[in-house]
Structure 1
């Protein structure tokens, strides 16, 4: 990476050997300076670069490893993040704990040294396994709502059906489902064959590893921690399809991955409907267990596996399937405020398998989307997949497809153990209580979007974050710890880092905004300063210089109770309180083909996803009904007013 940038900054590139040019052509070609400082390269080698298109994972060897910040860097950023949310006396105590931790020859230096040693033995990143285990696989609460995310697709170009009777499966539903399945298979082909172009930012290439963890990827309930399995290349020839809680193994590819026509896939889906309608052997709704407490599900899964070889074979079919598809024999209200709940939790958790990385869901009226398990990848990766498959609707047969015989869908039949029905009944009760508690609404704000924000020279993402800060302050009269996800894919196997959006400057802005003693120019200056601070936080996080992941890595190096008692930085109440994110947010822009959401991460908090389009901004707002402190509908109204007021200010 450094060498490649040196090439680009020097006229010596004109005399580089062709082998070097070929090796670094992805970076050279994507540099803004390419034709300006490399005119001879552009003239003599452009045809070579065009014909040697880089493979999907061709940049992996030049992507740098995730850095480990110094103790002093993290200590200063951490203390700075505590200032806006703690009283002076609480801050003073927390700051003393931090200073004690990072002092020379202190515990911090010991843990830092261990973290560097662990980085030497980890193949890709010191953080990768720590994050996967601590953030996901060791988490025992149900994945439904607490971990999984949802996305709703833009409606099909032909629209959706109106007034479909409950209990029906429609031809249009089958048609759209088959097309989306075919498009997903095409994307998998591109990943398998490394035809997907490697991605870049202005800073350089991005890690593409998460694309290997989207197909044939499953979270497996286990104890004391779950497991995750993934295959790349993902060469399975089948998917699983759920219809009326029945699970089918469905072949969708021929031998060697040969592509079939969309009509062939339609026939497979129709066969499932016929088999389910004509059988008297309906199976128990095993899929409900994937929405249960992870320990409960792990125990039930092990009991099922020990019950019979047929059960073990069923699990193998589900775990290795390329992805899951749920055909719903009902349609929700055309109001998107209601319809997205079907993707979020199906109102009762039925007809789903929440452990699959990708779970395509299509209602009888043709409205479609996905529910995804979060542990394998972050939002951008599945988002790029959805852009691909939805933008290609109406789906067309692949050029290499042909109509070939496929094995009939296999209805997975389960050998139950004695208490299975009781466990499922309890799961249904728990899931119903959880879904009834969800307060999730949407705001599609169409007054302005990124075009206008850029025209007034404002960072769209930082602007939305300040709008959220103002909204929360207006509704609750206080600031709160706020999480925004920042991607660290500029590093090998990078995932995310936390941007702590609540800053000293955001607090100053929100307090002044409705204060009549402040002039408009003063408010605008405070907003500008808050936005600048947020951008600095985002840049630091993206460059691997955030606070939360480093502190997590250090905490995981503690080896005994004596060290634990000395680690005042972690035992001080400020550590947990500063991570108690009552506002948890994520940017999934631009939202042209889909928008999505997720649950709040604390009981009295909000989960807010947003997509900033050119002419509008789509928000999803989730909280929990049991807590009187939160109200998603009221927050939506407050947010709309804040967006209007900020436009007027600017």
Structure 2
């Protein structure tokens, strides 16, 4: 073991004439460097903590205020209006101090209080400015004068060179919408999905709720919004994720793919070495808060809270609820390869292992031919099965001895690395390569991923990589931010030799990775097998289809003067109708990170306007001009709904919190129960690109990511994730279940393609001209109206 290897550096022998003490200079040097690094890290953390704590001011501004106050003493001007003199009269031990010393101390104290007051004034002024969201509702490219003034004020109050967490204290709280507005929007969202009788029943339930317990629940929710930093996020994490007792594999976890077309090296150990080193660089900047905060329009800051738990985080199973365990400053990694678990130290001599050293260590694991211990091969299947059996097995078989030590090593590791033995990745010569790649990342063999870790890094023998992410601690954009940084660092900063190895020399004397030890009795092995069988049944039922839409992309859509996201969402509605012959409740995820501790909100994409457009597309009597006019109306409605969701005026999180509050108060609401039980047969999400400055896609067109995806939400529905890459590519990740006779992911992909092309065909000069002139016929209930 590593600690045993280091122990030989200290030896002593008792002799008749005394003690012969021998110290290894290398060990002493490593101890010294580790100490220096630790103190250097503490100093940097303290410095950055101070910088973030006083932001948007700076420590130097305190000195300026002090100098200004001191200067006033000499020119006999009192800007404090007598407060400096009052402070001097109340100083402790003032009689032992000279008059000049009293004046100086009083001026410094007053200047410090004034400086702190100005900091809080700046923060609350910035918070007030950030509470304004009118800018987001303006048409693209048409910024009003008031918004320009507002934007200038935000820039002025935002300070210079902010750190990752500098804006946290200035972010506004998520507002609680009014019950009337939420219910009105909800009824509007379900109107196209219900017949008249069903709609009237739902409206009656809504009105009964509004007239009975709604005001009481709303009152408590408003009080919570005053007290908590975010009235949604803690309940969302607990009740949507941690209290779920079903398997998190496929049902909750999601995946992110590697570069689509390019593999920097085909050496598995080398690629893993560079990627892990890049992740360690990212973690170091993350711990110090040195990443630049993400800002909309380059100015409006987003919340960074979710990033805090990216590394050294594990979801711990419980009988009733899980908990998210986040640790600090852990310096090892756990690697899984061919049924064996290895512990690998990531630091030596107070520094990260270099890429070449990591490559050497990973190659040692790949070359290790030792056999797995009894029950070790499928051990991780416990994290893929039901949560309650895993919680009970953990308490009974992993609470002491070597099992406890080995489990602690996994759960405290920076993250989990799986060195797979089957190549994956996109191959244009193979029909289903993207499908196989997605399924490997989403569930693998059901026992070669530790699904409880914040994320699993997965390495394939052909050099491809990918990530499987546990969902409770954060949402996809958080991991996407890290992955963009890692891929850019791997390709453009670290690089490889001509032979495909990591650059630099490696210290051959590094201790080998050590095997984790397990003692798994027959009862535990039976529990492992039971979890595996459940997980395998889930994995075998996943029907996945990855589809590259290359006919056009964001560039052409923007020329059509419409939102790319609205364009795709309407194409999905058209594809859904053609695939299923009807409409369904549709979930699109949007973020609420313009607010403190914000996570997500739901955009209900199946609107009355979208339904009218789809029906017109399928109506042979409708002209292209009519369809285009309905498309623009539906796209405008979708954009408005998306903006409402982003600015805290969504529907579903408010209703969710009202439902949780009703359970706490022990009151029953048929309306809320009905709303929360409605299935999302079409669940969609866009994978955003957040750091476009890292890679110039025009200059390096092969360096494009493939995005990521998730499993189907409903047994008889579809899950669709898409990423708009550059100007000419959209990648779709489509999931459903083989067990459903009504769904087929490959068929749905073809329907999406046809829908995209059919909508694009509407944007012809002659159609645009007819719409501009108002020369079209409106279709309603099959009748024509001039």
TM-score range, shorter chain: 0.7 to 0.9
What's the counterpart of residue 94 of structure 1? 202
Decide whether aligned partners of structure 1 residues 360 and 574 sit closer, same or farther in structure 2, where only a CA change above 3 A counts: closer
What's the counterpart of residue 467 of structure 1? 571
Q: CA deviation at 1:20?
A: 6.4
* Paired residue secondary structure (1:594): coil
Decide whether aligned partners of structure 1 residues 42 and 345 sit closer, same or farther in structure 2, where only a CA change above 3 A counts: closer
1:222 aligns with 2:321: no
1:84 aligns with 2:192: yes
What's the counterpart of residue 133 of structure 1? 238
Aligned-partner Cα distance in 1 for 2:174–2:358: 43
Aligned with 2:442 (options 344, 360, 384): 344
Aligned-partner Cα distance in 1 for 2:510–2:207: 66
- Deviations along 1:485-521, one digit per CA (max 9) or x if unpaired, are 0100011110000000011111111111121111111
What's the counterpart of residue 570 of structure 1? 672
Decide whether aligned partners of structure 1 residues 559 and 423 sit closer, same or farther in structure 2, where only a CA change above 3 A counts: closer
Q: CA deviation at 1:37?
A: 7.0
What's the counterpart of residue 168 of structure 1? none
Q: CA deviation at 1:616?
A: 1.4
- Deviations along 1:137-182, one digit per CA (max 9) or x if unpaired, are 0111111110010111015855565xxxxxxxxxx00000111001
Aligned with 2:403 (options 311, 314, 325): 311
Indicate the RMSD between aligned Cα atoms, in angstroms.
3.2
- Asked whether the 8 Å contact 1:337–1:442 carries over to 2, the reply is yes
What's the counterpart of residue 382 of structure 1? 479
**Unaligned ranges ≥5, structure 2:** 1-54, 57-114, 130-134, 136-142, 428-432, 496-503, 690-702, 764-786
Matches within 5 A, 1:415-494: 415-494=519-598
- Asked whether the 8 Å contact 1:152–1:594 carries over to 2, the reply is yes
Aligned-partner Cα distance in 2 for 1:229–1:199: 26
Aligned with 2:688 (options 568, 589, 592): 589
* Paired residue secondary structure (1:394): helix
TM-score normalized by structure 2?
Answer: 0.72
* Paired residue secondary structure (1:557): helix
Aligned-partner Cα distance in 2 for 1:486–1:560: 28
- Deviations along 1:68-101, one digit per CA (max 9) or x if unpaired, are 1111111111111110111111111111111121
Aligned with 1:142 (options 216, 240, 247): 247
- Asked whether the 8 Å contact 2:173–2:225 carries over to 1, the reply is no
**Unaligned ranges ≥5, structure 1:** 6-16, 162-171
Aligned-partner Cα distance in 1 for 2:119–2:227: 30
Aligned with 1:119 (options 217, 225, 230): 225
Decide whether aligned partners of structure 1 residues 317 and 575 sit closer, same or farther in structure 2, where only a CA change above 3 A counts: closer
Aligned-partner Cα distance in 2 for 1:40–1:304: 61
Q: CA deviation at 1:402?
A: 9.1
Aligned-partner Cα distance in 2 for 1:528–1:39: 29
Q: CA deviation at 1:453?
A: 0.9
Q: CA deviation at 1:410?
A: 2.3
Matches within 5 A, 1:492-641: 492-559=596-663, 563-564=667-668, 567-571=669-673, 573=674, 575-577=676-678, 580-590=679-689, 592-613=704-725, 614-641=727-754
Aligned with 2:276 (options 174, 181, 193): 181
- Asked whether the 8 Å contact 1:586–1:608 carries over to 2, the reply is yes
What's the counterpart of residue 165 of structure 1? none
- Asked whether the 8 Å contact 2:711–2:736 carries over to 1, the reply is yes
Bigger relative contact order (CA 8 A; separation at least 6): 1
What's the counterpart of residue 68 of structure 1? 176
Aligned-partner Cα distance in 2 for 1:560–1:384: 37
Aligned with 1:286 (options 364, 379, 385): 379
* Paired residue secondary structure (1:76): helix
* Paired residue secondary structure (1:505): helix
Aligned-partner Cα distance in 2 for 1:41–1:131: 34
What's the counterpart of residue 355 of structure 1? 452
Aligned-partner Cα distance in 1 for 2:260–2:195: 49
